[in-house]
Amino acid sequence: MGVGFLQCLKINMNDAQSEEMGSDALEIERIYIKQSFQKQGLGKYLIDQAIEIAKNHHKRDVWLGVWEHNRAAVAFYQKLGFVQTGVHVFLMGDEEQMDFIMTKTLS
């Protein structure tokens, strides 16, 4: 059995973003941390890395989508300064689901 990944961060800029957010924004499309490594500050570390990349590319906003029922993740992002700025509806099979779009404006 392989080790697998402990953490993963996928970001998108410009036309690669999954929503039309403009050239001043950077999207965090995926952030994963293996469950046994959660609650150790790695999530904040990955967010901080995305923010640094955004600053280095002169982006004004960092945004992400989070499932509306993932209360722990919503609270985590709010703690880091993200606010809900919209919603995105998607289909999971035949069922409509909703992601909150959460954005942090950089200083």
Strand, helix or coil at 60?
coil
Phi, then psi, of 34 in degrees rounded to 5: -55, 135
Closest of 88, 91, 33, 81 to residue 66, by C-alpha: 88
Strand, helix or coil at 57?
coil
Radius of gyration of the CA atoms of the chain, in A: 14
H-helix or E-strand containing 51? helix 42-56
- In the annotation, is 32 catalytic? no
- Cα–Cα distance for residue pair 29/31, rounded to 1 Å: 7
> Which of these is catalytic: 26, 65, 77, 103?
77
Residues with catalytic function: 77
